């Protein structure tokens, strides 16, 4: 049976502390899978340097020289985790039969890559790595993440619970995925839309091996907002519902004002009117803000800019 070529795509943004630990672990996985005859020996680790400002690219270069199985791509600037993944997958699909994406900090257990490949050999096109528990994350990260998954589900976005961007995809699944040409990229939401046969493998999420999280609160929030507004128009519907409710309240208010007027008690109603004025004004602004979010997306989408520019490639 023909063996499949596996590419492990690893986005790196200022990961100089963790790369010296990551490379040997991933090489270990590759050689184990090779020995078990699960993958071809042309399988590779593909680092995508997402415009790092530290020595990440120098390190990647060194690892490329030292090991034939390591390749690297350097993006011309920081385009973000999701776009870096797309860059890596676009390069990898030219050569690979199967592509696994994993974070550079190896918080996701590399030993389940073997299970993923087995599932693929059983006919799955997409295999999701799902975290069993999040003990090692901080209380804050764990709970905000869970709240986010729940909110997404409520808003009707199809996404796999507790799955980040650790997954295996076959070449045809990646080809399909890359047909989704939107700029506001939220892979976790798009991959399930690809719709090929999929399965999950479970693992325990560990601690970041070294270095610091590249997702500070601000980035996390904008990621969450992207996830929701790229897939769901429910927020706009909520504004509409709110608008209808407010109009009804306004009618009731009108009746009240008329009664008060003919009863000669107009001055006393002033405070409640001024109160609703402010309240409604606030709601209108919130509504505008949400609508503006979508218009902003249309704006970016219409510009149709390239997602990244590759500056250099090291591919054996
Ligand atoms: N990353 C990236 N570009 C960015 C931010 C992050 O390529 O602008 C990469 C980072 O190097 C890592 C992965 O995305 O491989 C996930 O980041 P991190 O582990 O810091 O996120 P966390 O696990 O804390 O959510
Ligand atoms: Mg991490």
Cα separations in angstroms, 72 against 69, 171, 218: 10, 19, 28
Q: Please tell me if the CB atom of residue 108 comes closer than 6 angstroms to any atom of ligand 1.
A: no
CA-220 nearest atom, ligand 1: 25
CB of 110 sitting under 6 A from ligand 1: no
Judge contact between 127 and 200, C-beta under 8 A: yes
Alpha-carbon span 235 to 155, nearest angstrom: 8
Site to substitute for ligand 1 among 25, 105, 188, 217, most atoms within 8 A of C-beta? 105
Res 37 pLDDT > 90: yes
pLDDT value of position 60:
97
What's the CA angle centered on 283, arms 237 and 257, to 5 degrees?
A: 115
Mean pLDDT computed over 163-185 = 89
Q: What is the pLDDT of residue 7?
A: 98
Q: Tell me the pLDDT band of 52, cut-offs 50, 70 and 90.
A: very high
Q: Which residue owns the Cα nearest ligand 1 atom 2? A: 81
Among the bound ligands, the one closest to the CA of 87: 1
pLDDT digits (tens, 9 = 90+) for 66-122: 999 999 999 999 999 999 999 999 999 999 999 999 999 999 999 999 999 999 999
The overall average pLDDT reported for the chain is: 87
Quickly list DSSP for 226-269.
HHHHTT--HHHHHHHHHHHHHHHHHHHHHHHHHHHHHTT-TGGG
Please give the number of the atom of ligand 1 that sits closest to the Cα of 84. Answer: 7
Beta bridge partners of 9: 46, 101
pLDDT recorded at residue 299: 77
Measured by CA distance, the residue closest to atom 1 of ligand 1 is: 81
- pLDDT recorded at residue 18: 95
pLDDT in tens, 200-244: 999 988 888 888 888 888 888 888 888 888 777 777 777 777 777
Query: For residues 100 and 89, what is the distance between their CA atoms, to the nearest angstrom?
Result: 9
Span 246-304, pLDDT tens digits: 777 777 877 777 777 787 766 767 657 766 777 787 778 778 878 877 887 887 787 77
> Is the pLDDT at 43 greater than 70, yes or no?
yes
**Residue nearest to ligand 1 atom 14, measured at CA:** 81
Query: What confidence score (pLDDT) does residue 195 get?
Result: 85
How large is the average pLDDT for residues 34-61?
96
CA distances from 302 to 49, 120, 233 (A): 27, 37, 18
At 268 the pLDDT is 67
């Amino acid at each position: 049976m023909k063996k499949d070529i596996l590419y492990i795509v690893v986005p790196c943004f200022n990961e100089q502390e963790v790369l010296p630990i990551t490379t040997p672990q991933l090489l270990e996985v590759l050689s184990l899978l090779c020995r078990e005859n699960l993958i071809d020996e042309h399988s590779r680790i593909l680092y995508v340097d997402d415009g790092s400002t530290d020595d990440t690219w120098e390190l990647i270069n060194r690892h490329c020289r030292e090991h034939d199985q390591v390749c690297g791509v350097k993006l011309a600037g920081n385009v973000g985790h999701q776009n870096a993944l797309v860059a890596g997958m676009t390069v990898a699909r030219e050569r690979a039969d199967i592509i696994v994406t994993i974070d550079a900090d190896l918080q996701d257990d590399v030993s389940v890559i073997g299970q993923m490949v087995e599932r693929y050999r059983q006919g799955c096109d997409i295999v999701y790595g799902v975290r069993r528990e999040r003990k090692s994350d901080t209380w804050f990260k764990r709970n905000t993440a869970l709240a986010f998954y729940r909110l997404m589900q409520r808003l009707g976005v199809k996404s796999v619970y507790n799955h980040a961007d650790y997954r295996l995809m076959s070449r045809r699944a990646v080809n399909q995925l890359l047909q989704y040409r939107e700029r506001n990229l939220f892979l976790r939401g798009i991959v399930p839309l690809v719709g090929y046969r999929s399965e999950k493998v479970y693992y325990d999420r560990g601690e970041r091996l070294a270095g610091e999280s590249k997702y500070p609160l601000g980035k996390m929030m904008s990621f969450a907002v992207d996830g929701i507004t790229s897939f769901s128009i429910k927020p706009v519907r909520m504004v509409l519902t709110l608008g209808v409710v407010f109009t009804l309240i306004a009618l009731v208010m009108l009746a009240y004002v008329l009664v008060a007027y003919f009863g000669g008690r107009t001055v006393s109603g002033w405070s409640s009117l001024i109160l609703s004025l402010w309240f409604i004004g606030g709601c209108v602004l919130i509504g505008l803000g949400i609508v503006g979010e979508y218009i902003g997306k249309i704006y970016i989408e219409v510009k149709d800019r390239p997602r990244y520019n590759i500056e250099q490639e090291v591919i054996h």
